[in-house]
Amino acid sequence: MLAMKTNEGHRGAAQFPRFWALAYDHARLTENERLQQIRHGLSWTWVESARDTFRINTSDFVALFNISLSTYERKKKADQPLDVVTSERLDRLAAVALLAESVFEDKDAATQWLERPNEALGGQTPLSLCDTEIGANQVRRVLHALEWGGVA
């Protein structure tokens, strides 16, 4: 599994409001509208904003988003939408991030929690588990446990 290494020091989510704005706008859509956007392909700006917000390193970038750096750069340069797999992963990450923000009632706290290894998740970072639906479900269970007074 991914380790999701981050840079030393904390860079607050307030410095990267674009990811949160994209996530909030996306969450306002119906499931059918989200599905249409995923199938059409989300903008490359989603990848950039998530990478900056969560300080994702190069090797984890490829694994989490299922996109090579060269493909990402090509999409960015041509202003082309992302493929379905990458778009779905970003949709999933946005939903989990918004749940974390709701539980912690703070974007910075949610960002930090998603970036740090978690014992309840086998020492993996919640962010790294968002590469699959099963992993994201594990993260959601831990967040719900925290929200309902459990320990995680």
Listing DSSP states for 7-20 in one string gives -SS---GGG-HHHH
- Please check the confidence at residue 117 and state whether its pLDDT lies above 50: yes
Nearest to 23 by CA among 114, 116, 106, 96: 96
For the segment 12-55, what is each residue's pLDDT rounded down to a tens digit?
444 557 999 999 999 999 999 999 999 999 999 999 999 999 99
The answer to whether 6 and 54 have CB atoms below 8 angstroms apart is yes
Which residue's entry shows tokens 């990478």? 51
- pTM (predicted TM-score): 0.85
Q: What is the mean pLDDT of residues 114-126?
A: 96
- Please check the confidence at residue 10 and state whether its pLDDT lies above 70: no
Q: What is the mean pLDDT of residues 52-65?
A: 89
Contacts for 127 with CB less than 8 Å, ≥ 6 apart: 2, 4, 54, 56, 64, 93, 114, 115
- Please check the confidence at residue 107 and state whether its pLDDT lies above 50: yes
- Please check the confidence at residue 94 and state whether its pLDDT lies above 90: yes
